[in-house]
């Protein structure tokens, strides 16, 4: 019997490979991994940037493949709610696919806004798969410059 020098990094790599194989094989037997992690939406969730400047709160949402008529946006009680649906463009037979990763379906996300907004002046624009929502801050929450007298 030959002596083999112990290499802890090789042991860690072997254990890492076995754990990956275990999770890859066992989770896919019982359903989509997203169902295990609480992601209810079949298309996942849209990426969102939410930021503010002196007068506005701006929300940008990535919605590739979603038409503007399939987007619902609502502001109520300092919460903005976005609902959207990505529909397949054409019916194609799945047996001809070699790979199919596009996801279709509906999803919903809500965000609590940091300040009150003027709901009557909200503007939303959908261009090149990006939804940009401009929410003007309510007058009481806007920064006001104060003049200092001598």
Residue ranges covered by each domain of the chain: 9-39, 41-88+103-140
139/134 Cα distance (integer angstroms): 15
The encoded tokens of residue 148 equal 């200092």
Q: How far is CA 109 from CA 21, 31, 56, 76, in A?
A: 33, 24, 20, 14
The reported pLDDT for the residue numbered 92 is 64
> pLDDT tens digit string along 45-60?
678 999 999 899 999 9
Q: Which fold has domain 41-88+103-140?
A: Immunoglobulin-like (2.60.40)
Q: In what order do the strands lie in the sheet with 71-76?
A: 71-76, 79-86, 105-112
Question: Of 45, 32, 71, 75, whose CA–CA distance to 57 is shortest?
Answer: 75
The reported pLDDT for the residue numbered 51 is 93
Q: What is the 3-state secondary structure (H, E, C) of the chain?
A: CCCCCCCHHHHHHHHHHHHHHHHHHHHHHCCCHHHHCCCCCCCCCCCEEEEECCCEEEEEEECCCCCHHHEEEEEECCEEEEEEEECCCCCCCHHHCCCCCCCCEEEEEEEECCCCECHHHCEEEEECCEEEEEEEECHHHCCCCCCCCC
Work out the average pLDDT over 60-75.
91
Lowest mean pLDDT among 2-6, 15-19, 48-52, 55-59: 2-6
The encoded tokens of residue 70 equal 């399939």
Task: Let me know: does 117 contact 140? Beta carbons within 8 Å.
Answer: no
Q: Which residue has the higher pLDDT, 1 or 62?
A: 62
pLDDT band for position 24 (cuts 50, 70, 90): low
Q: Which residue has the higher pLDDT, 118 or 3?
A: 118
Whether the pLDDT of residue 35 is over 60: the answer is no
């Amino acid at each position: 019997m030959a002596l083999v020098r112990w290499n802890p990094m090789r042991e860690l790599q072997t254990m890492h490979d076995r754990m990956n194989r275990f999770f890859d094989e066992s989770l896919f037997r019982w359903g989509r991994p997203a169902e295990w992690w609480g992601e209810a939406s079949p298309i996942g969730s849209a990426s969102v940037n939410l930021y503010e400047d002196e007068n506005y709160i701006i929300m940008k949402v990535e919605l590739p493949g979603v038409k503007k008529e399939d987007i619902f946006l609502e502001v109520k009680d300092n919460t903005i709610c976005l609902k959207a649906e990505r529909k397949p463009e054409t019916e194609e037979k799945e047996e001809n696919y070699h790979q199919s990763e596009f996801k279709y379906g509906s999803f919903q996300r809500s965000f609590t806004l940091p300040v009150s907004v003027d709901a009557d002046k909200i503007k939303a624009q959908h261009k090149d798969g990006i939804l940009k929502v401009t929410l003007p801050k309510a007058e009481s929450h806007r920064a006001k410059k104060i003049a200092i007298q001598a």
